[in-house]
Structure 1
Amino acid sequence: MLYASAISDMALLMAVIWSFHLKYAQTAAFYLKAPTFMYVFIFIALRALRFEARYVLFAGAMGALGWAILLLIVLSGHGGPPNVTHDYTEYLTSNATLIGAEVDKIVAVLLVTSILALAITRARRLLVRAVAERIAAQDLSRFLAPEVADRIRRSELRIAAGEGELRDVTILTTDLRAFSGLSATMAPDSVVKLLQDYQARVCPAIRAAGGSIDKYLGDGILSSFGAAQPSGTDAADALRAADAVAAAVAAWNAERTGQGLPPMRVGMALASGRVIFGAVGDGDRLEYTVIGDAVNRAAKLEKHTKAENVRALCDAATYDRAVSQGYVPPAVRERRAARQVDGVAAPVDLVVITP
């Protein structure tokens, strides 16, 4: 239908132009000067709305062919003598035929058609590439923290391993207690379902407070505040996230108890400090992560929660920093001074976040 419409449009246009010499009782060479010829370009441009080059090329070919046929009718002598001339003035002021001028029209039709088709082809490629990049960007956000994915998308330079920036951040680590023992006694599907339930409750609480999920460490989650996007309230946001995670786990355990399942315990720890935020890897595979003492200290404090027999701990310096940033604790927190933490040389003043 689209090809047929191009043929019918051009045929009708050429028939109207051909009829001019009959209407005005002139020789056939008269219609070659009809300004109606310009409608050829309109019919070609209309095919561009389909955004496919083949329809433009076909319409242009039909236009050039139609004008060539009209020229051949004139040169054949049908409708009067062709009166071929090489004088441009005579061509303009009489019913003479200047073959070069008509050939120029055909060439112009073909050139405009080719340029328009090329533009459409390039535009389609750009559109396809843009859609593919949009889909890839959406997939990127599924595998990386949204802030990191956005950072990668906006990067004007190629990201390379070893590039990093100093950040003052707060690290929050969470760990699903006794998961290794449970996974050894549960079916694989049940293990994955349990892990998914845990992450589905903990991760939204972290993100809602402004945290970025740095990585999943089996049943552990490492998140950072103020790394991907520098913040002046990183410690306060991290403490709020810890409170939200504790509430989410409590709600999860209420559901599990109602289903006749045992409750789960989640350990947490927080630590603040200056870290390096950047890309690491071997060049072929890169990963954005945080590196520094705060990360190590948070991991050690999380392990120390078992020794303190609590679910969540924070060093006193981080807690005081959070309070100075506007964090309002929901209750008075217990402080434990000068505790010896494995892997930490000096005693650490601790604050119990969740008993």
Structure 2
Amino acid sequence: MQSEVSSPMRFAGVQGRVFEFIRGSASLSYVLISAIVIFLLDTWSPLHFAVAVLYSVVVVLATLWFKRLGTIRTAAFCAFLTGLSYIITHGADLDSAASARTLISLAAIAITTKLALLNIATRERLIMVGKEKDNLARFFPPAIVEQIATNDIALSTTRYEPAAVLFVDMIGFTKFCSVLQPQDVIAMLRELLCTLSASVFEHQGTVDKFTGDGLIAVFGLPVVNDLSATNAVRCALTMQARLQAWNDERAASGLEAVAVAIGIHYGAVVLGDVGCESRLELTVLGDTVNVASRVEHHCREAKASILITDAVVRRMQSEGSEGAVRRFTDRGFHTIRGHSDAIRLFAIPRDAALNVNQLLAG
């Protein structure tokens, strides 16, 4: 079976290399033919002007197919043909007019090459910026991507700043894995994570990382936002409301409902790159992150779909979001795993009905 599968793959790989070689050979042929035609005209035509200036066109053509090294080699080849044409036509005779035309041609080749290399550098920079934007778009909302790109915000600068951290995880993921086919599990997770991350971006948050059956989101970093706690809570409410609508669609298709737990905490976090040189990851660290994770895990025991801490509530009140605070029920103080001090928690019950249109309107 392995040989049956690998043979078509090997053939496809060889076929791709052949096509790439043909395309590269054709591009090289165009450049060579153009240069030789100009060489013949420059050497044996009776025209009394600097035909060799047309080598600049060859250099420009080279930039369409080649990178820096190929363009430089093309320019060197054109300069060689210019000199060879002069030697064939005039030999050792230093004809002033012919020498001037040759120097003008060489200068034109040099200037065109310099401009061509600048154009290649600009083109490569635009491609790199485009790739960076595409990569950033996986974790940041479009508005923040544009701010990072246009204002040249240094994401790798380690700093200690306040932010709201949101943890969301699927409840009962192991059960789904035991009853569904692997491809169905992946399809379900992709749809779930797409919905969750869209809610994060909609509320000006950033996806710190995907955790397999959930994600970690940060509000207020890397671009400071005066409504970081409010945006985090509204994001959580929107997530649960959209999940309810999604579950209605799943029920109509005979599929089991998906539930998630969400925990939010507000406080100072460390933002920086972690990992090794070959693979660095921008992330947030600190006690705030740990507490948010524990609060999310506590949702199961508290039978809550969303739990937020009193630090989040205080921050929301300072942001003028008392209306959103009133949606939550005060559950009093709880001791969460890994944290010695009791934390006051506010909850949205697991069976609470949430309407996404009402949430977005409010």
Encode CA deviations 1:25-75: one digit per residue, 9 max, x unaligned.
xxxxxxxxxxxx4x4465344445435557766776676666666657xx9
1:15 aligns with 2:61: no
1:185 matched to 2:179? The reply is yes
**Deviations along 1:229-286, whole A, 9 cap, x unmatched?**
2222110110111111112111111110111112111111110001111112233322
* TM-score, structure 1 as length reference: 0.72
Structure 1 or 2, whichever has the larger Rg, is 1
Distance 2:274 2:82 in 1: 60
Q: Summarize the Cα distance change of 1:59–1:298 in structure 2 as closer, same or farther, 3 Å threshold.
A: closer
Partner of residue 299, structure 1:
293
Q: Name the residue aligned to 1:322.
A: 316
Q: Which sections of structure 1, spanning at least 5 residues, go unmatched? A: 18-36, 76-97
Q: Tell me if the contact between 1:145 and 1:213 (Cα under 8 Å) persists in the aligned partners.
A: yes
Q: What are the superposed Cα offsets for residues 297-349 of structure 1, whole Å, 9 maximum, x if unpaired?
A: 11111111112111111112312311321333296421122233333323322
Q: For 1:334 and 1:155, locate their aligned partners in 2 and report how far apart those are by CA, in whole Å.
A: 39
CA distance in 1, matches of 2:280, 2:76: 46
Given the superposition, is the C-alpha separation of residues 115 and 224 from structure 1 closer, same or farther in structure 2, using an over 3 Å criterion? same
1:50 partner letter: L
How has the CA–CA distance of structure 1 residues 303 and 59 changed in structure 2, closer, same or farther, with 3 Å as cutoff?
closer
Equivalent residue number for residue 245 of structure 1: 239
Counterpart amino acid of residue 227 in structure 2: T
Counterpart of 1:105?
100
Give the one of 147, 170, 194 matched to 2:188. Answer: 194
2:346 equivalent in structure 1: 351
Q: State the match for 1:119 in structure 2.
A: 114
SS state of the match for residue 329, structure 1?
A: helix
Pairing 1:312–2:306 present = yes
Asked if structure 1 preserves the Cα contact closer than 8 Å seen for 2:53 and 2:104, the reply is no
Deviation, 1:184, is: 2.3
Shift of 1:100: 5.5
Paired position in structure 1 for 2:356: none
Q: Which residue of 1 aligns with 2:230?
A: 236
What's the counterpart of residue 23 of structure 2? Answer: none
Aligned to 2:54: 43
Looking at structure 2, the residues matched to 51 and 15 of structure 1 have their Cα atoms a distance apart, in angstroms, of: 28
Cα distance in 2, alignment partners of residues 2 and 145 from structure 1: 48
Aligned partner of 2:270 in structure 1 is 276
Contact 2:307–2:345, Cα closer than 8 Å, also in 1: yes
Find runs of 4+ consecutive structure 1 residues off by over 4 angstroms.
Answer: 7-12, 46-49, 51-72, 142-157
- In 2, Cα distance between equivalents of 1:64 and 1:233: 69
Q: Is the CA contact 1:57–1:117 (under 8 Å) kept in the aligned structure 2?
A: no
* Counterparts of 2:270 and 2:188, CA distance in 1: 33
Query: Whole-Å Cα distance in 1 between the matches of residues 115 and 62 of structure 2?
Result: 6
2:347 equivalent to 1:336: no
Distance 1:175 1:323 in 2: 27
- What is the CA–CA distance in structure 1 between the aligned matches of 2:288 and 2:215, rounded to whole Å? 15
Distance 1:271 1:156 in 2: 25
1:170 matched to 2:164: yes
Counterpart residue number, 2:221: 227
Change (3 A) 1:16 1:47: same
Once residues 88 and 276 of structure 2 are traced to their aligned partners in structure 1, the CA distance between those partners, rounded to angstroms, is 67
Q: Is the 8 A contact 2:263 2:308 kept in 1?
A: yes
C-alpha contact 1:67 1:106 (8 A) present in aligned 2 = no
RMSD: 3.6
TM-score by length of 2: 0.71
